Amino acid sequence: MTMTTAEADKILSGNFAPWVLELGLTVEAVGEDRAVLRLPWSDRLAREGGGLSGQALMAAADTATVIAVSAARGGFVPMTTVQQSTSFQRAVSGADVLIEAVLTKLGRRMAFADITLSDAASGALAARASTVYAILG
């Protein structure tokens, strides 16, 4: 059975630090090997010059991976980031960001994902990330 977005939102609200929750992330879609989250535009997250900060984008990519792994496993289990690499391609200004995390490999103890971060208004690719997670539970 595929996890619902409401179930994924509960994982989000119940398992992340308050500062991550303050990003305002919401789960747009989940599948057997993926999750799509929305990072709403906020002036609080903008850098000088008006672009969304890289730190917010990296946190969103990291969070989307947790939701994708949880969806694939049928629920949340403790996990931790082992590696994350992010390449920024263009600034996002004044628009929400859609973050899609797709699992490329899910083992018993490790998970690997590729993440795309796109300007929700234009569809333009803003960044790509890859993550590796250790599954602890």
Indicate whether 49 pLDDT > 90: no
Domain span including residue 108: 5-135
CATH number for 80:
3.10.129.10
Encode pLDDT of 39-48 as tens digits: 999 999 998 8
The DSSP-derived string for the chain is: -PPPHHHHHHHHHHHS-HHHHTT--EEEEE-SSEEEEEE---GGGBPTTSPBPHHHHHHHHHHHHHHHHHHHHTS---EEEEEEEEEE-S---SS-EEEEEEEEEE-SSEEEEEEEEEETTT--EEEEEEEEEEE--
Task: Tally the domains of the chain.
Answer: 1
Q: pLDDT exceeding 90 applies to what percent of the chain?
A: 95
pTM of the model: 0.95
